[in-house]
């Protein structure tokens, strides 16, 4: 009984692994091509994980398996939001995948395996568990991109993602091995103590840090390690693009915080400078290149690169205000990204992808409510008040000002103004251009309800952001700054 009680922090992970195994076997005996039962089992699994995560939450920080796994407030909050994001992705993508013959048991199982990888990443406190979670997520996503086997574009995207991902994993492993050589440990807490005490090899540490930051930048899609983002976003089916671009950003944020803040905080003088360069380049390349895109998925890909630049600004401040603002920004970005890619899928139909800017022309005449939802999402991504995107950017920039990064803030504001153009262009197309098609838009009731909640949440959180912001600050304070 004591053994079972001691394992309570990983009940959610155990439950998810058992359920995905059950779902894989059960799916073999289901002949209904709609896979409705499998879909319901997946949603029930995510709900079960949420209930278990809430029920097993403990005050303080709980370490397990020789400090390889940690359960704290930040991990529980990020896991709950991950379940929600994956569940929303499945609702948005169900009809889209059905008409393309991609709504299979394999897709649903891969989504759950990727979710398990994110959960491990979020709770890892050792380089081994961090890497295991990362690879489980990366390989699952790679298989999802390649699921459309008769599509040359999707196969090419999967190959690019796999090869570049392997290179980034090599960077990370090489950096981790150097840190192990310098400190004699793979445990993040021990590494931090060794560096703080001055017993570690300084040159080896800095050299290893450079490789780790390069690997992290690839996983975030930050410039100059962003080459895979636009090609994979464009080439993958939109449902897979949504999965790549939304929930994993929460795990990536946790990944960055665990390594740089929990493990390598004493080396901040070195990694803050690297993050500054990555942030500026990401905002510049992302916002400027997005202007030239006519494909909405590619535009959102470059938009993602720019948003990751903002996320890094909060991390490099090196204080509670910046870390909390970055966590808030990651959550807000996931919400906006789900809505943006969800809108593409809702307007798509069999044999047609609504992924070009022209497909959104005159949307207000075809469906005023959907146009209003898309307008809220685009305003939020551009950082227009009173949407939550404005508050997210403001909180990150405010933290950077307090940390003394005035020049960086000025550049961020300038690049945001440039970026506002391509978001507002979509609003202009929806409201002031004539539609290219007058075909009736039909959306399933659950998807219609979800896009409404998604769009209105962007507005509501912008007007009342304090509760979510407080959760982010308290999570970071209790989990990392102890």
Per-residue pLDDT of the chain (482 residues; tens, 9 = 90+): 466 667 778 888 999 999 999 988 888 887 665 578 888 999 999 999 999 999 988 888 888 888 888 888 889 999 999 999 999 999 998 888 888 878 888 889 999 999 999 999 999 888 899 999 999 998 998 888 888 777 788 888 888 888 888 888 888 999 999 988 888 888 888 888 888 887 777 888 888 888 998 888 888 888 888 888 888 888 888 888 898 888 889 999 998 888 888 888 888 888 888 889 999 999 999 999 989 888 888 999 999 999 998 999 989 887 888 899 999 999 999 999 999 999 988 888 766 777 788 888 888 888 888 899 999 999 999 988 889 999 999 999 999 998 888 999 999 999 999 989 999 999 999 888 887 777 777 888 888 899 999 999 999 999 998 899 999 999 888 887 65
Identify the helix (H) or strand (E) that includes residue 64: strand 62-64
Residues in the chain: 482
Identify the helix (H) or strand (E) that includes residue 198: none
Most distant CA pair in the chain: distance in Å?
70
Helix orientation angle between 445-463 and 73-98, rounded to the nearest 10 degrees: 140
At residue 216's C-alpha, the angle toward residues 410 and 421, to 5°, is: 40
pLDDT at 95: 85
User: What pTM value is reported for the model?
Assistant: 0.93
What ranges do the domains of the chain cover? 2-479
Distance CA 154, CA 235 (A): 5
Distance CA 313, CA 277 (A): 10
Rg of the chain in Å (alpha carbons)? 22
**Contact 427/379 with Cβ under 8 angstroms?**
yes
pLDDT at 393: 92
pLDDT at 480: 74
For the chain, how many helices (H) and strands (E)? 21, 2
- The helix/strand/coil state of 246 is coil
pLDDT at 3: 66
Identify the helix (H) or strand (E) that includes residue 266: none
pLDDT at 1: 46
């Amino acid at each position: 009984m004591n053994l079972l009680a001691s394992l309570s922090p990983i009940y959610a992970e155990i439950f998810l692994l058992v359920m995905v195994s059950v779902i894989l076997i059960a799916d073999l005996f289901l002949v209904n091509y709609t896979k409705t039962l499998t879909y319901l089992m997946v949603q029930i699994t995510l709900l079960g994980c949420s209930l278990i995560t809430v029920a097993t939450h403990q005050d303080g920080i709980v370490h397990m398996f020789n400090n390889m796994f940690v359960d704290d407030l930040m991990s529980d909050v990020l896991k709950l939001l991950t379940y929600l994001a994956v569940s929303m992705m499945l609702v948005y993508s169900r009809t889209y995948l059905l008409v393309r013959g991609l709504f299979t048991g394999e897709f649903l199982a891969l989504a759950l395996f990727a979710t398990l990888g994110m959960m491990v990443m979020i709770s890892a406190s050792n380089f081994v568990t961090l890497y295991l979670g990362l690879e489980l997520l990366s390989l699952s996503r790679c298989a999802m991109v390649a699921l459309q086997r008769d599509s040359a574009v999707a196969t090419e995207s999967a190959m690019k993602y796999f090869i570049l991902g392997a290179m980034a994993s090599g960077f990370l492993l090489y950096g981790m091995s150097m840190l192990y050589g310098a400190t004699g440990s793979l445990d993040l807490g021990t590494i931090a103590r060794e560096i703080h005490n001055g017993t570690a090899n300084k040159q080896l540490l800095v050299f290893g840090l450079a490789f780790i930051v390069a690997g992290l930048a690839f996983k975030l899609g930050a410039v100059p390690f962003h080459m895979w983002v636009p090609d994979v976003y464009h080439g993958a089916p939109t449902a897979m693009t949504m999965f790549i671009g939304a929930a994993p950003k929460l795990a990536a944020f946790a990944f960055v915080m665990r390594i740089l803040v929990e493990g390598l905080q004493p080396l901040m003088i070195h990694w803050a400078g690297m993050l500054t360069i990555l942030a500026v380049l990401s905002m510049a390349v992302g916002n400027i290149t997005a202007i030239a895109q006519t494909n909405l998925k590619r535009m959102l890909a470059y938009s993602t690169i720019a948003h990751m630049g903002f996320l890094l600004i909060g991390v490099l401040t090196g204080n509670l205000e910046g870390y909390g603002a970055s966590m808030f920004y990651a959550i807000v970005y996931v919400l906006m990204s789900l809505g943006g890619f969800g809108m593409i899928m809702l307007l798509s139909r069999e044999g047609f992808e609504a992924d070009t800017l022209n497909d959104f022309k005159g949307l207000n005449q075809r469906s005023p409510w959907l146009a209003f939802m898309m307008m809220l999402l685009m305003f939020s991504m551009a950082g227009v008040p009173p949407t939550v995107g404005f508050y997210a950017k403001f909180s990150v920039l405010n933290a950077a000002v307090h940390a003394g990064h005035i020049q960086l803030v000025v550049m961020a504001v300038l690049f945001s103004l440039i970026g506002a153009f391509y978001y507002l262009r979509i609003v202009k197309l929806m409201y002031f251009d004539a539609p290219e098609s007058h075909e009736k838009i039909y959306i399933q009731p659950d998807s219609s309800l979800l896009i409404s909640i998604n769009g209105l949440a962007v507005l509501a959180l912008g007007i009342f952001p304090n509760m979510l912001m407080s959760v982010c600050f308290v999570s970071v304070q209790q989990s990392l700054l102890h």
